Amino acid sequence: MRAKFEVVRGDITRSRVDAIVNAANPNLLGGGGVSGAIYRVAGPQLTAACRQVGPCQRGDARITAGFGLPAHYVIHTPGPVWQGGGDGEPRILAACYRKSLELAAATRCRTVDFCSISTGIYGYPMDRAASVAVRTIDEFLATNPGTIRRVRMVAYDRVTEQAYEQALSASVL
């Protein structure tokens, strides 16, 4: 059966799911934004685990345990820094979503929560990021029926929630 995709409003550090996806940097060292919050709740063991699996190229992904988080695993994916759109940003962003889902499926995750990769400190325009994300998730779920049952975009604020809802209603889902 094909997995569901939903947009919800919330804080991803509270997600009780198999895997949450962290908007990381290539060193996999917690910074500000959502990754700072994830590292704070997960505790220092996450930093140590990230040292073992990093670094990680933009568009690629790594997995660790969730430690103090309610989520079982954290998938870390460094998104592209927005440079105007002509530097491969859409391709790299799509790869973030695809690689994260591949890793989740390979780890037998059934429920996966994303935050909006690259739309904070990395400056990717929200509407464009939402359309890349929704298209890529949709394509993956359509072509990889398997263990993943539900994917959610956890939007931290109303602007993010609206952008992803709009991208979802504009897609063929």
Q: How far is the CB of 128 from ligand AR6 (least distance, A)?
A: 13
Residue entry with tokens 């394509």: 139
Distance CA 127, CA 153 (A): 14
Distance CA 165, CA 19 (A): 22
Q: How far is the CB of 173 from ligand AR6 (least distance, A)?
A: 21
What's 53's DSSP letter? Answer: H
Report the residue number, 23 or 71, with the smaller CB distance to ligand AR6.
23
Report the residue number, 159 or 170, with the smaller CB distance to ligand AR6.
159
Report the residue number, 31 or 125, with the smaller CB distance to ligand AR6.
31
Report the residue number, 22 or 101, with the smaller CB distance to ligand AR6.
22
Instruction: Summarize as ranges the residues that interact with ligand AR6 (CB under 6 A).
Output: 11-13, 23-25, 31-35, 37, 79, 115-122, 154, 156-157, 160
φ and ψ at 74, to 5 degrees?
-120, 125
H/E run at residue 155: strand 150-155
Report the residue number, 135 or 152, with the smaller CB distance to ligand AR6.
152
Q: How far is the CB of 37 from ligand AR6 (least distance, A)?
A: 4
Q: How far is the CB of 125 from ligand AR6 (least distance, A)?
A: 11
Q: How far is the CB of 145 from ligand AR6 (least distance, A)?
A: 27
What is the residue type of 97? Y
Distance CA 15, CA 48 (A): 22
Residue 57 is encoded by which pair of tokens?
């190229």
Residue 66 is encoded by which pair of tokens?
């969730």
